[in-house]
Amino acid sequence: MKESIKIFFQDIKSSFKDLLPIIIVVAFFQIFIIQAMPENLTSIVIGLTIVAIGLALFIRGLELGIFPIGENLAIDFAKKGSVFWLLLFAFTIGFSTTVAEPALIAIADKASVISGGLVDAFWLRMTVAFSVGFAISLGTLRILLGHPIQYYIITGYILVVLVTFFAPKEIIGLAYDSGGVTTSTVTVPLVAALGIGLASSIKGRNPVIDGFGLIAFASLTPMIFVQVYGIVVYSIGDASAVPLLASRVETTQAVVELRSFSVVDMFLELLGVIKDIAPILIVIFFFQYAIIKKSVPHLPKIVVGIGMVILGLYAFIVGLEMGLFPIGESIANDLTSQDNNLLIYLFGFMIGFSTTMAEPALLAIAIKVQDISEGMIQQNMLRIVVALGVAIGISLGAYRLVSGDPIHYYIIAGYSLVIVLTYFAPKHIIPIAYDTGGVTTSTVTVPLVAALGIGLATNIDGRNPLIDGFGLIAFASLFPMITVMGYGIHAEYKKKQLEKVGR
């Protein structure tokens, strides 16, 4: 018990360290740029403290519950030898977790409002959820067959680019963003554990090279499916009915308002978190007991871990709503009303870097990467390189939005660079780089980035919130792949140089 308390306090200390960049960025902009202290400073401080506690609980819960059960399931499926049931499990996990993903629900509802109902929120969610289910089952099949991941991913990117030329301009930014909001805070660790467990249990597979990559599939296929959905919707619907919103779009009004803390509201929010995680647990335990027909090893420990994940995620979300979202959105709104675009780009860069460093999904993957690579890839270095990619992506995306350039020129150029780097990057870094594109846009990043994009599009003359407001999340998903592969190429070059010196 004493040891557990000591570990938990170490986790909280690490959480505060992860949140420090966000605090520094917010303080800098409030004091030196906005030159005003926020009205609800006490609420913000309490909120950030709750975030740190929630993050500590969440990470400890992953280690105890989600990682072990995911890896054990993968090993049991491999032993069972049934490809059908394994692929069905992969599809069901992808579909059930995505359809309940809060970030996707928020984006789908916003797209429906801005498009005047032409894009239906329910069918958009179904399209994305089906595409993720398909993606994870296809990625699982790739691990079974032992095919190199780059052949699949490059083919996918080529398809994304080809479909873009036929898709209506109103759907392109939304489609690119949908690839970034599908991988949730709980889905990412479970899917990663599934891939690593499967690669570890099949002879001839390397957990580093073959185990990662499932998240990359889940980020890629929605971009294709949503664009095809858009082609169908805009060909049979009345596109002239789509309103050009001159008035300000209220992005997350409920979040901006001062939070009320009635016991009923807190209980309902906790139920909401349980509801989001319930589909994952139902699928896991159904396949464990009905298909594998085997009890869960160390069940009490797993249950405690899952409970910690639920409580940690709940505390994390509550803390974000109190501490980070209101001040982040108010700073974004203040910056868009000033006549200095460089401040917008600087804010995009700094908030992209700082929120990515605190992203639970990235932290979970980085821990797993360090573990599987036996320390060859350090989790802190990986997170810094990924955060740098997100920062560059968001600032460039903000520039694109301000300048009014079509988004697909940037995205096509970016994916072309990813394809080129794939041929030069070390084999072990490629699937990890692809996965980082999906884990960077989750609980922390998506709401802030979406608010910034739509806020810019509604405040700049000549911009359409539907066409221009979406797309920042796509930039935040794309550039980490470039920076991580660039880091891998550089590390490999330095390693060869040292080997030459040592001879």
Taking only the tens place, the pLDDT of each residue in 26-55 is 888 888 888 877 777 788 788 888 888 888
CB-side exposure of 440: number of CA atoms within 13 Å? 40
What the block records as the tokens of 158 is 């080529």
> Rounded CA gap, 60 and 41, in Å?
29
Amino acid at 17: K
Contact 432, 484 (CB under 8 A): yes
Q: What is the mean pLDDT of the chain?
A: 82
Confidence of residue 414 (pLDDT cuts 50, 70, 90): very high
Scanning 34-82, the segments in alpha helix (DSSP H) are 41-61, 67-80
Angle at 258 between CA 257 and CA 263, to 5 degrees: 120
Contact 481, 437 (CB under 8 A): yes
Query: 213-222, 266-275, 386-395, 462-471: which range is least confident on average?
Result: 462-471
What the block records as the tokens of 423 is 């041929």
> Rounded CA gap, 52 and 436, in Å?
23
Residues 6 or more apart from 59 whose CB is under 8 A from it?
Answer: 11, 15, 312, 360, 363, 364, 367
pLDDT at 452 over 80: no
Amino acid at 352: G
What pLDDT was estimated at residue 250? 40
SS3 content of the chain, % helix, strand, coil (to 5): 80, 0, 20
Contact 114, 188 (CB under 8 A): no
What pLDDT was estimated at residue 27? 83
Confidence of residue 329 (pLDDT cuts 50, 70, 90): low
What pLDDT was estimated at residue 471? 80
pLDDT at 238 over 60: no
Angle at 476 between CA 473 and CA 478, to 5 degrees: 110
CB-side exposure of 138: number of CA atoms within 13 Å? 19
> Rounded CA gap, 462 and 456, in Å?
11
Tell me the three state secondary structure of residue 394.
Answer: helix
pLDDT at 484 over 90: yes
> Rounded CA gap, 430 and 180, in Å?
18
- Number of Cβ within 10 Å of residue 14's Cβ equals 15
Confidence of residue 20 (pLDDT cuts 50, 70, 90): confident
What the block records as the tokens of 55 is 């993050």
464 φ/ψ angles, rounded to the nearest 5 degrees: -105, 120
> Rounded CA gap, 438 and 106, in Å?
18
Reported as a single tens digit per residue, the pLDDT across 92-133 is 988 887 876 666 776 787 778 767 778 888 899 899 999 999
Contact 402, 341 (CB under 8 A): yes
More confident residue, 66 or 483: 483
| 211 class by beta-carbon count within 10 Å (0-12 exposed, 13-18 middle, 19+ buried) | buried
Task: Domain ranges for the chain, please list them.
Answer: 2-502
Please tell me whether the overall predicted TM-score, pTM, comes out greater than 0.95 for this model. no
> Rounded CA gap, 503 and 493, in Å?
16
What the block records as the tokens of 454 is 């739509």
Amino acid at 35: Q
